[in-house]
Structure 1
Amino acid sequence: MPAPVEFPSFKGTAKLSEHDFSVDSQHWFDVKFYPYTTAGADPIFAVTGKSETVICKPVSEKTTAFEVVRWFHDDDDSAQLNSLVWTQDSETGDPLVCVTGVVPKIKILNVVTGELDRLINDLAISPISPCILASASLDHSIRLWNLDHRFATHPCAAIFSGGGHTNGVLTVAFHHTGRYIISGGFDIAVCLWVVPEVPDENALTDRTTIVHYPHFFSTEIHSDYVDCAKFYGDLILSRAAKEKKIVLWKIEGFDSRRDVPPPSAIPTGSRRETRSAFAGSFQRLLQFECPLTQLFYNRFGLFHEFEQHPILVMGNENSKLLFWDLQRLDEGMELDDPVLLKRSKKKHGRNVLENVREGSSNSNSSSGISGGIISPSVPAERKFTINDPFALIPAHHDFTVPKVKFCFRQIAWSKGGEWCVTVGDHGMICVLKRG
């Protein structure tokens, strides 16, 4: 088990080449570790991009960083794969990889047999249950799919559409309870949706459950395409193209410990830009400085497991990885923190360190990032106050991949946080390891 505050160290990089495609033109857009690994089993991860999906296993030998377990090639040249997620066969338990891209189909690949399992429309991401996928589509909608074989004739369990996104949806992620979905898209909007029961009374019928309105909608958090959003406890981390930062924020009044509101509740608000079914609007908490991250579809990674320090990581266009220890911020910043001392830029006449020293009763301040909710191992009384949520916090640690220059596109952590794998342009796969 790695030390709680230990950042991963560089293990190695490799460019994959097979099926006569050019490595330099091969861009990997997504990577995920198999999340259902049993104790003692070797971790495996999948990467996808263009027409290729590769299953790999990280190794500890010095000669290589990983080995290829299985390779899938899509014969459809127009597929342009860019997203994947792991699931399990509801009958056999076999590990399955769902991949999708420009062509609006999800292909489900069986890692054990090496065969194509089924076809389902639209882009997908997994909730807690391995049988349920949520899909984000360019048709402005989000769909919920039930992959249990019993529902194969009617796999679409719900559609989130109507009062939400007005352009293509780029990112979806589930709350750890599985009861909420956060989404972002081309319309610069961020939405929070309540997930209906799956299966419900419409299962195996020609009627599909429709969720007409998100419980929260805002176009005020970001100014460009929102291509990555994740829950961090009840808080939200999100970023948009061209902004060069990641924003940590909260929806006022949202508390996952309370009863879930009805799925079709209509959000209300005084302004068109932000509507909420909860009591309030939203509040910015922190912003993380991410230089050279202006490209579209450049996503951050988040390691967040019980009794370990949560780590936020972002890769930029110049082969550099930036790391933040979020519990270090949650517990409070030391006044001699070298990361903060080296800051030279100030906004609004003061920097982050000055804010910590002086405290504030400003309405924008936050007493602790989580108040002891998102990090159960942190006592609730450990609090600090920052009165400038627009100040950019530099990385606690960074690392540049030697001898190569490429843009990172996606980052994944293994269960337990021992391995970190990043993928990007020009066929690059970078492996890091803790411990």
Structure 2
Amino acid sequence: MGSRAVDDSSGEVASDDDTSSLHSFSTISSNDTKAVGKRKRKGSSKPPPKIGYVLKSSVTEDHGKSLFGVRFNDHLKDDSPKIFATAGSNRVTVYECCPSGAIKVICIFADPSPGPHAEEFFTCAWSFDKETGRPILAAAGEKGVIRVFSLATRKCIKNYIGHGTAINELQFHPLLTDVLMSVSKDYSIRLWNMRSDKLIAVLGGVDGHRSEAISADFSRDGRWIVSGGMDHSLKIWDIGSELMKGALWDSAKLNNKHYKTVQVNFPVFSTRDIHRNYVDCVRWIGDFVASKACENEIVLWKPGKINSSEIKGSQISKLHVLTVADCELWYIRFGLNVNNKVLALGNQFGKTYVWDLDIDNLMEAKHVLLSHPKCNTAVRQTAISRDGSVIICVCDDQTIWRWDKIKDEDDSVNDDSPDLLR
């Protein structure tokens, strides 16, 4: 693959046309200029976030199109290499985060269709084969076809066709790892069983999304799905109902040739009171939801009353707003690590906001701003490793940026930090 990579061991890029020295730094809030890690700013009444990140490497893919998706494989053991995949153009590329700070290509899956018939991938998601434990990777995009790849065989092992048009997001169930969710431009959300190859259910219809469904997420216990779309609405679907429990069980039976796909027309919760624009990213954070539209903010909210566990109707309890700048393009998605302790969102000019959520009061969450002069196009999605130590950003100019967490106070970025790009 014709990519150019930078790693922190050499501090140089394999390119002759980049001759100027560019300093890599991260900043805290819009009023500060440098990343200070855990150090307090003089004259500040409130301490800065306790996290800081430093740029380690950058890679440019050679397909000439935007990178829209990136995901870490969170199913690997803690002592395993950190593996992530990107989705863009007709490719899904798998990378390893090397201990040196570099990014190494492991394999590339490409749609062989020629010219205008080629796929453009928007999203990917990881799971694993229950029998062998080997990782599998699902990807989808413009064609509306879900492709499932095996890293062991380096082949596409399954295809699922059902959506009438593009698929915007894929998510695997957190407990039932054979269950895959797809979110589509055709207004619907679909659940698939990859063990039996059956379409479990279609969420949408009478009271579903009235325009393109863009994003959805499973709650950690797997009971709820929250979804957002171009109709500015957020909806919550109950897949822990008796109907859906039966569907999940029956669809998993390999010898059930007469299984009939369940149609779910009514979510248990629906609101348009949070956003006034396309809702392009939604994630559960415990009992709360984080949602983003093209409005320069992420809203943290809870369905129903703040002290109630009941989810129904349309009432919301808004908890907090995380504000950003220059994030008005649609289809820019934030990332959370698996335990919801770190959240990262890029903007349309290449800057990435990072919040430490491992605090007692989410209202006090503050951000660190990561930036580099050569990262100056839209950051379409961020991904964060399980332990929060690595953040990957993918951009419109086909670049991938690796930021590593600063381990010690002495490692904080300052004016004397080494040049990483030349």
Q: TM-score with structure 2 length normalisation? A: 0.75
Give the C-alpha shift of residue 206 in structure 1: 4.0
Q: Partner of 1:126 in structure 2?
A: 172
Q: Partner of 1:323 in structure 2?
A: 354
Q: Partner of 1:44 in structure 2?
A: 83
Give the C-alpha shift of residue 95 in structure 1: 1.1
Contact 1:202 / 1:209 at 8 angstroms: preserved in 2? no
Tell whether 2:270 aligns with 1:223.
no
Larger relative CO (CA 8 A, sep 6+): 1 or 2? 2
Q: Partner of 1:239 in structure 2?
A: 292
Contact 2:306 / 2:317 at 8 angstroms: preserved in 1? no
Letter in 2 for 1:132: V
Within 5 A, what are the aligned runs for 1:19-30? Answer: 21=63, 25-30=64-69
Within 5 A, what are the aligned runs for 1:221-370? Answer: 221-241=274-294, 243-253=295-305, 277=312, 281-303=315-337, 305=339, 310-328=341-359, 330=361, 333=364
Contact 1:141 / 1:161 at 8 angstroms: preserved in 2? yes
* Corresponding residue to 1:15 among 51, 60, 64: 60
1:125 partner SS:
strand
Q: TM-score with structure 1 length normalisation? A: 0.73
Q: Partner of 1:265 in structure 2?
A: none
In structure 2, what is the Cα distance between the partners aligned to 1:98 and 1:240? 25
Letter in 2 for 1:157: I
Tell whether 2:230 aligns with 1:186.
yes
Change (3 A) 1:253 1:201: farther
Change (3 A) 1:132 1:421: same
Give the C-alpha shift of residue 36 in structure 1: 1.0
Contact 2:250 / 2:259 at 8 angstroms: preserved in 1? no
Change (3 A) 1:180 1:12: same
Contact 1:37 / 1:415 at 8 angstroms: preserved in 2? no
Contact 2:303 / 2:317 at 8 angstroms: preserved in 1? yes
Identity in percent: 27
In structure 1, what is the Cα distance between the partners aligned to 2:139 and 2:251? 27
Contact 1:408 / 1:423 at 8 angstroms: preserved in 2? yes
Q: C-alpha offsets along residues 176-229 of structure 1, whole Å, 9 cap, x if unaligned?
A: 001100101111111000112253346632411222211111122111111100
Change (3 A) 1:332 1:222: closer
Tell whether 2:158 aligns with 1:114.
no
* Corresponding residue to 2:378 among 390, 395, 407: 407
Give the C-alpha shift of residue 402 in structure 1: 3.2
In structure 2, what is the Cα distance between the partners aligned to 1:202 and 1:66? 40
Change (3 A) 1:96 1:254: farther
Q: Partner of 1:86 in structure 2?
A: 126
1:286 partner SS:
strand
Q: Which has more strand, going by share of residues?
A: 2
Structure 1 runs, 4 residues or longer, greater than 4 Å off? 253-258
Q: Partner of 1:262 in structure 2?
A: none
Tell whether 2:416 aligns with 1:421.
no
Q: Partner of 2:26 in structure 1?
A: none
Aligned residues, how many? 340
* Structure 1 unaligned regions, length at least 5: 259-275, 334-392
Give the C-alpha shift of residue 305 in structure 1: 2.0
Give the C-alpha shift of residue 249 in structure 1: 1.0
Q: CA RMSD in A?
A: 2.4
110-119 or 36-45, which deviates more: 36-45
85-94 or 424-433, which deviates more: 85-94
* Structure 2 unaligned regions, length at least 5: 1-36, 39-48, 408-422
* Corresponding residue to 1:157 among 163, 176, 200: 200
Tell whether 2:141 aligns with 1:101.
yes
Change (3 A) 1:254 1:166: farther
